Amino acid sequence: MKIKWEDIHNPAFDPDQIRHGFATDTTLPLPSIGGGFYALTHRPTGARYIHISRADDENAFGVALKTVPHDSSGVAHILEHTVLCGSQKYPVRDPFFAMLKRSLSTFMNAFTASDWTLYPFATQNRKDFYNLLDVYLDAVFFPRLEAASFRQEGHRFEYEPDDQGRESLVYKGVVFNEMKGAMSSPDQVLARSLLNALYPDTTYRHNSGGDPRAIPELTLEALRQFHKRHYHPSNAFFYSYGSFPLEDHLAFIEEKVLRRYDAIDPRTTVPPQPRWRAPQQATYTYPLAPGEDTGRKCQIGLGWLLADIQDTFEVLVLTLLEQILLGNQASPLRQALMESELGSSLADTSGFDADNRDTLFFCGLKNVAAADAEAIENLILTTLEKLAREGIGPDLIEAAIHQIEFHRKEITNSPYPYGLKLLLFITSTWLHGGRPEAVLDLDRDLAKLRARLQQGRFFEERIRSHLLDNPHRVLFKLLPDEEKQAREETREKEILQAVAAQLSPDKQARIRAEADELKQQQEHDEDLAVLPTLSRADIPPSVQRLRAAPQSPAEAITCYDQPTGGIFYLTAALDLPPMDDGKLPLLPFFAHAFARMGTAARNYAELARRLNRFTGGVELAVQARTRHDAQATPRPLLTLNAKCLDRHQARLFDLVAEMVGSVTFTDIDQLRRILMEYRAALERALIHNGHRLAISLASRALTPGAHLNE
């Protein structure tokens, strides 16, 4: 019997019927997305399952495991990498990478968060779905976890020549090197250090990705034991989305995995952080290149521990409060921080974070002086006190509600397929014992919120209770340290020298042999025939094409009628005339600043409030395109992208006309603030996008279009 949404309204439907070991716990409609929600539990193992049934060909799957580290060895992160190095049924070196060429997947990846690991994929092809599901399930639950894979992905010793040409012992490993790079990035250091400061008594105090100083302490046996307890169905949360029948998914997972297990207690519950009685201070450092000016390289802000993630209504309230305080150029706390000119932009990770058992809020400034810590703390607290005392304008509240409604309603496949976006949206609540259906059913909590708003001063009281009167607060400082990297390199070198001095000739020979063995494995051509694949018969012979709605020759706008969930999208392109090389580099900043400045009729704050109240965003972008002519001429294009709820189309066109026709750059103070934010974002992007920048630079001489893009 196939489980269908309409069965719920059939008196013959028995929600207690057991299907492949699964009992149905909850069923409810999701009218906002035109789907149905099912929550089930596998009786023999305790595995949880959520299925969102929706008429969408983009079917998605994910299995999440609660992975709760007790140290900073990176065990969860290294395990995520190592399970993808071959399994019992598919003993190939890298089945995921190999499947990219044997699949029609629209997404394949794996994620490690602070206390959970997720393996998701998406595809539109039914056979491909079950091919990928088989590979994913075997990788997650039955990996080989071989010593060579652990050395490759985690850490190992190798010999390599030093500056004098002598052999020296070094650490290597994919995760080890990845985390060395991550911990040189100020934003990564800030994010992980803030968790350490606010959650000193729970798992979040540890670096779940792995601290390079602690990664070499992890053993293969500890990794295998971590897998045995954490990668068990009793600790698993299965998810599927789309048009494929749930019944088939349940049967497949039961046959491939669940029938081979009995229930255990995985002991992965994360307790709430005990609350402080008084605010605290915390100071951390990040490595700065020697010779750089350290004067204004600090990040300073205030962080608070807030509501339990299980309280979905309060999480919604805090999400709205973040939007009110920091969400746009007109938000009062953001405006106060930026107009103080104490820093160049908001501190990294500023905002509300609902990914952990206890949620948090952080705000501050980057590129500030260490001596300005007290001034920044006072500015934040006095701004919040003023809002709590004098009140928040109803337009700010309505704009915040509109933004939440809009983005919850918007159905897009960017940056992830929509089914996986829903999964990422509910994962933390679901895994920490909350009600994911309440997160998806926004209307109920919004109705409750509007009833509370009628009583007056709702958000003002939340500012006072959650922020001003909340003693679990930290004044957080991230300071530059020119000597930090050198100290770490010296410490690592001394450890390696001490290890090398204790190695017997046999152990030295083993290290060299293992390095040769690993290199041979990496270069060896494998027979991938064991992996599932698709035949030509499995692939539809045609592709979906979107046809424009009929229009008269005089019409300037091409329209596409598509089910967009009540959202209207507008895209316009402007072919720019030739311009000299001196002006071309200014185009990206011009596009960035376009929607952040004012117009002849409104200043930047008034325009920001109106954009947030009636649109889902209006943005300008610049890109290089190549014409389909004989010369393949490259041209720079400006593209305007805007979106709104259907009922606000007229207001959207009025705003676009106002911005295009009368945008003004006369507010030099605001332009300077935008420029500082823009520069800070570019500097932050350097560390994370070095490979892309290198590709762009290397390819600029290949074609005129590549040169223009560069």
Active site residues: 80
Which sign does the torsion angle of CA 414, 417, 418, 421 carry? negative
Spatial neighbors of 654 by CB under 8 A, at least 6 apart, are none
445 CB burial (10 A radius; 0-12, 13-18, 19+): middle
List alpha helices for 543-648, DSSP H: 587-594, 604-614
List alpha helices for 411-504, DSSP H: 418-431, 436-440, 442-453, 458-462, 484-502
Q: Which residue has the tokens 């967009």?
A: 564
- Please state, as a whole number, how many other Cβ atoms lie within 10 Å of the Cβ of residue 150: 23
Task: Tell me whether strands 48-54 and 236-242 are parallel, antiparallel or unpaired.
Answer: parallel
CA distance 314 to 145: 42
List alpha helices for 32-173, DSSP H: 75-82, 95-100, 126-141, 147-153
HSE, CB side, 13 Å, CA atoms: give it for residue 361. Answer: 25
Distances (CA, A) of 561 to 418, 457, 546, 568: 19, 42, 9, 10
DSSP for residue 7? G
Question: Of the candidates 129, 111, 385, which has an alpha carbon nearest to the alpha carbon of residue 249?
Answer: 129
According to DSSP, the residues that pair with 36 across neighbouring strands are 29, 53
Structure tokens at 158: 């190798």
Fill in the amino acid letter for 277. R
According to DSSP, the residues that pair with 26 across neighbouring strands are 39
Question: Of the candidates 78, 114, 348, which has an alpha carbon nearest to the alpha carbon of residue 208?
Answer: 114
**Dihedral angle computed from the Cα positions of residues 13, 16, 21 and 26, in that order, rounded to the nearest 10 degrees:** 90
Q: Please answer whether residues 640 and 591 qualify as being in contact, where contact means their C-beta atoms are separated by less than 8 angstroms.
A: no
CA distance 689 to 111: 19
DSSP for residue 271? P
CA distance 527 to 530: 7
- Please state, as a whole number, how many other Cβ atoms lie within 10 Å of the Cβ of residue 391: 12
CA distance 92 to 90: 6
Q: Please answer whether residues 426 and 440 qualify as being in contact, where contact means their C-beta atoms are separated by less than 8 angstroms.
A: yes
Give, to the nearest 10 degrees, the angle between helix 668-688 and helix 186-198: 90
Q: Which residue has the tokens 């997404």?
A: 107
